Amino acid sequence: MIAIGEAARQSGVSIETIRYYERERVVPAPRRAANGRRVYSDKEVGRLRFIRRCRDLGFSISEAKGLLSLSEGENSNCAKVKEIGTAHLNAVRCKIAELTALEAALEELTANCRSGSVSCQMLEALAR
Amino acid sequence: MIAIGEAARQSGVSIETIRYYERERVVPAPRRAANGRRVYSDKEVGRLRFIRRCRDLGFSISEAKGLLSLSEGENSNCAKVKEIGTAHLNAVRCKIAELTALEAALEELTANCRSGSVSCQMLEALAR
DNA sequence: CTTGATCCTGTAGTCACTACAGGATGCATA
DNA sequence: TATGCATCCTGTAGTGACTACAGGATCAAG
């Protein structure tokens, strides 16, 4: 049973963010000590760590919440987890494709942008 | 000399966003007709289009603003433009690298996540 | 008893829009 | 002239996922 600062250290979620998750009901509110301070069990720290791992993998808060409740459900429904995971994987791949297109466009624009030339290719492309 | 709706159509920037750009001084405020409505010249539509192109390339509003003022300055400073462009290109490449790492992690997690198995590999990795 | 760390609530700011509410005006048709 | 719909106006609030205080209470160590 630890205080919020230690829970932050153990979970890798900042104090402010922990309180935010509580406010937004991403995780259940922990019980309070007599002095009104939050008290965390290992299980609750585990939830915070779970959410942080989801966020690190790029899942949204609501996806993370869904995965957490699947993780805590009676029947661990692997199929649903996989569905959420592959949907997100697809989204990540789309994002990569978009950024790769951007990269190519920026490469071309900046390559043609030589200091000293009369006109700036990049500005011209943007203004066209 | 056109109204905001037509300016939106010609520039590809929505009416609400045009007003937002004006409020945030991304572009100068256009003059008003006698009835109080905004009136846009080709030059002003051009500025909106310029900002949109910058945004499409992933530049932030403040970068776009900077590029616009470089574009309208007396001495078209190609070196500065190139600097902003290559800095952004680097940022895009970093983002791609991050997402590619995410992609690999998600591939592994979802591949090991088979419906029907006793435990869910993905949930276990998240909860560990 | 003091000092510094930690905790609390509540609010506002970030970025780049987006979505109204509630009202005024313009334009075309009956 | 009346109607009705499109377009415009201002102002405010919401989005996601935090982050950053302000202003105050409490704790633990010396």
Distance from CA of A57 to the nearest CA of B (A): 6
* B110/A contact by beta carbon, under 8 A: yes
Q: Where are the alpha helices (DSSP H) in chain A?
A: 4-11, 15-23, 42-56, 61-72, 78-111, 121-127
Measured CA to C1', the nucleotide nearest A9 is: C6
CB contact (8 A) between residue A81 and residue B120 = yes
**Which amino acid type is present at position A93?**
R
* CA B105, B111, B115, B116 torsion-angle sign: negative
* B112/A contact by beta carbon, under 8 A: no
Per-domain residue ranges of chain A? 1-76, 85-128
- Mean pLDDT over B55-76 rounds to 91
pLDDT digits (tens, 9 = 90+) for A83-113: 999 999 999 999 999 999 999 999 999 987 7
Residues 16-45 of B with CB under 8 A from A: none
Between A113 and A19, residue with greater pLDDT? A19
- Mean pLDDT over B55-65 rounds to 96
Predicted local distance difference test score (pLDDT) of residue B34: 94
pLDDT digits (tens, 9 = 90+) for B76-112: 688 889 999 999 999 999 999 999 999 999 999 998 7
ipTM at complex level: 0.87
Predicted local distance difference test score (pLDDT) of residue B97: 96
Distance from CA of B81 to the nearest CA of A (A): 8
CB contact (8 A) between residue A46 and residue B115 = no
Closest by Cβ to A82, choosing from B95, B102, B115: B115
pLDDT digits (tens, 9 = 90+) for B15-38: 999 999 999 999 999 999 999 999
Q: What is the dihedral of CA A105, A106, A112, A116, to 10 degrees?
A: 160
Q: Round and report the angstrom distance from CA (A24) to C1' (C10).
A: 15
What fold does the segment set A1-76 form as a domain?
Multidrug-efflux Transporter Regulator; Chain: A; Domain 2 (1.10.1660)
Best residue in B70, B120, B128 to probe A by mutation, most A CBs within 10 Å?
B120
* A120/B contact by beta carbon, under 8 A: yes
**Which amino acid type is present at position B68?**
L
